[in-house]
Structure 1
């Protein structure tokens, strides 16, 4: 495993710049973290609005970790902070310290590994924080999650579904046979630091890519190996709320289907409402965009419409699925 010099984890080696947009009327409240590249900042914006709309009256500080951003997006983050009277801290990270982490899927960004380092920065502001993926949506107050007793664990997260746990824990040879999703995490910063979670996670740099099925999620599961706290499923409801039982707190679009691509459910429509409230462009398409790389979306959309009794839409979806799939294969 990789080893490091004593000063490797110094903040000045990781943080290039930070911009603080402080409009919260009171200190305290919840601290919420995201890590995104510039292209995903508008998607994150809808998630941020969902947090604000469902936790009105609570001071919110957002910690937004990026590998770079356009000034236009920074201005919209500032506008969001002004409108909702919250605080947004926008960090640009130096990605050089992350370069030896593997990238499993080409379209993914190495900024995902920022969540491994966040506690060393956020500890200057708070004792704990909630980490959220950009493709999550808060649908109820976060008070119960925020005050969860982790009983000494450094982090709490929701278990993956049983089939995924069996497969992923087996692939990684995890001793305790447990596996969590890192798209929603409650982090106790002091315990994280005392247990040297960041340092242990970074030691997995330079490992061969074939050792992993995922990216930061696999690394964190290897580090914790079941020693984290496991949270109720309602805090990370997979497949865009497909497993909703009426008690969801955070919905997470973990599959290929995303609410900014098409609207197929009430949760998709709710995400669009938060998008419309945000400073970013309001998305109005209900049907997937006809681009070759979106051919999968048309199949999902077609089968969904068929289930709703719209057989003509099913045929329409399958037609475009077939046409765009051929175009995609030809263009590869």
Structure 2
């Protein structure tokens, strides 16, 4: 395993700035800790996710740890407003991204902030033994209590497997020995076991690897690190595709893939996400149809696909805009 200089993983080497907005009220219950990692443009999206957690877990004190690579004064103020309104605690961390610079970036539009989740246990270990990590494009629709009472003896982390076909393909590509592959967009982390197994250190050993070795970013690195030794959770804790396959058991909806609820309202859970967005301090998103921008051309194909069974004219409308915007985008 790659070795690091003494003090490399010290907090002062990773945390450039920290702001703590604590509006928790007195409670006999031990707070639950929730984490995110986002860059500045995704605060609006994350805000809806945070509200969904608060709305569906009102009987428990909550602490949100928000890891960023920088944030605006406006977003900082809105985080404070959210904490005050909902009587929760929000801690903003601006990460020093230099220690992450040797991790690969698979697609140019992506950010290395995704690797922040690998370091989180080092930050939270003096505050709690367990936390739930959520991607910004998730929505909680039920209590998280089962995740905070889950027996994780011997397991550093729990996550949901990717769909069988995707897991097999990605596992084979990465040459995983166990043939298992999880989605890291929702994780429950057992910090003492994570530290005992040296997960952060092992994950950082994959720095400087050529990006051609990977299909993704942090998710591939964590799958290589665990190689199937993590706890696998039921699918209701990570309902892919915006819950399109949910059978009424979903706890956490996750908009994997390109289609997002802030771009258009198409499937049943999309309006619910808009409700949480409207309750947050951030701007309320009102468009319900795909946005006519070249980079969003793929949304119209999705729209056409799902509307075809109800309205052939809407199908034609969607495919027309898909073809036109795709042509403009490619040119």
Deviation at 1:4, TM superposition (A): 1.1
Aligned to 2:170: 168
Aligned to 1:234: 236
Aligned to 2:217: 215
Aligned to 1:319: 320
Deviation at 1:178, TM superposition (A): 0.6
Aligned to 2:85: 83
* SS state at 1:117 partner: helix
Deviation at 1:34, TM superposition (A): 0.1
- TM score, norm. by length of structure 2: 0.98
Choose which of 36, 61, 67 in structure 1 pairs with 2:69. Answer: 67
Structure 1 residue 188 corresponds to structure 2 residue 190: yes
Deviation at 1:3, TM superposition (A): 2.9
Aligned to 1:18: 18
Q: Is the 8 A contact 1:155 1:228 kept in 2?
A: yes
Query: How do residues 244-259 of structure 1 correspond to structure 2 at under 5 angstroms?
Result: 244-259=246-261
Choose which of 200, 212, 227 in structure 2 pairs with 1:225. Answer: 227
* SS state at 1:129 partner: strand
Q: Deviations over 1:255-274 (max 9, x none)?
A: 11000000001200100000
| Counterparts of 2:26 and 2:318, CA distance in 1 | 50
* SS state at 2:94 partner: strand
Query: Which 5+ residue runs of structure 2 have no aligned equivalent?
Result: none
Query: Which 5+ residue runs of structure 1 have no aligned equivalent?
Result: none
Deviation at 1:124, TM superposition (A): 1.9
Q: Is the 8 A contact 1:2 1:205 kept in 2?
A: no
| Counterparts of 1:69 and 1:85, CA distance in 2 | 22
What is the root-mean-square deviation in Å for CA atoms of aligned residues? 0.9
* SS state at 2:57 partner: coil
Q: Deviations over 1:26-75 (max 9, x none)?
A: 36221000000001011000000000000012100000000000010000
| Counterparts of 1:26 and 1:48, CA distance in 2 | 21
* SS state at 1:89 partner: strand
| Counterparts of 2:31 and 2:306, CA distance in 1 | 40
Q: Which moved more, 1:25-34 or 1:238-247?
A: 25-34
* SS state at 1:63 partner: strand
Q: Is the 8 A contact 1:2 1:206 kept in 2?
A: no
Choose which of 128, 131, 134 in structure 2 pairs with 1:132. Answer: 134
Query: How do residues 3-152 of structure 1 correspond to structure 2 at under 5 angstroms?
Result: 3-26=3-26, 28-152=30-154
| Counterparts of 1:125 and 1:90, CA distance in 2 | 15
| Counterparts of 2:110 and 2:261, CA distance in 1 | 18
Q: Deviations over 1:74-100 (max 9, x none)?
A: 000000001110000000000000000
* SS state at 1:119 partner: helix
Query: How do residues 290-309 of structure 1 correspond to structure 2 at under 5 angstroms?
Result: 290-307=292-309, 309=310
Q: Which moved more, 1:121-130 or 1:110-119?
A: 121-130
Aligned residues: 329
| Counterparts of 1:306 and 1:285, CA distance in 2 | 20
